[in-house]
Amino acid sequence: MLNSKRTPMLAPPRADKEYDIKVYTEICDGCELCVEFCPCDVLEIDMDTYNSRMLHPVKVIALDKCTGCKQCERLCPTVSIMIIEKEVPQEDK
C-alpha cells in the first residue's frame, strides 16, 4: 500500500461526456495501483470476490464520480481496466 496519494491535475468534467468502466476481473491482479491513483475514489478492491487465480479484482464503487481522466487505464500493468466514453446528447439551445 502506498502512503501518499498523488493527485494529477485534471481537466474539468465535460458535460457532453459520460463514462463507463469495464474491468476484466479475470486478468486483474488486484495490485491496487488504479485504486491508489484514481483521484476521485471511484475504485475499490472487491474483497468478496476472487478470480480464477484466487486474486481479489477491483470493482467500481462510484461511477458517477469518474471524470474520465484514464489514470487507471494508463497505469494498469495488466490492461485490465478500460474507460468507455459515451456522448451525451445535448439539447438544442
Distance CA 39, CA 4 (A): 12
Nearer to ligand SF4, 12 or 43 (CB): 43
Nearer to ligand SF4, 9 or 93 (CB): 9
Instruction: Name the residue type at position 70.
Output: K
Counting contacts by CB under 6 A, is residue 59 touching ligand SF4? no
At residue 42's C-alpha, the angle toward residues 74 and 47, to 5°, is 100
**Residues 26-45 within binding reach of ligand SF4 (CB under 6 A):** 28-34, 38, 40, 42-43
Nearer to ligand SF4, 15 or 91 (CB): 15
Distance CA 16, CA 43 (A): 23
* Selection from 21, 33, 35, 23 nearest residue 63 by Cα: 21
Task: Using CB under 6 A, list all residues that contact ligand SF4.
Answer: 21, 28-34, 38, 40, 42-43, 58, 66-72, 75-76, 78, 80-81, 83
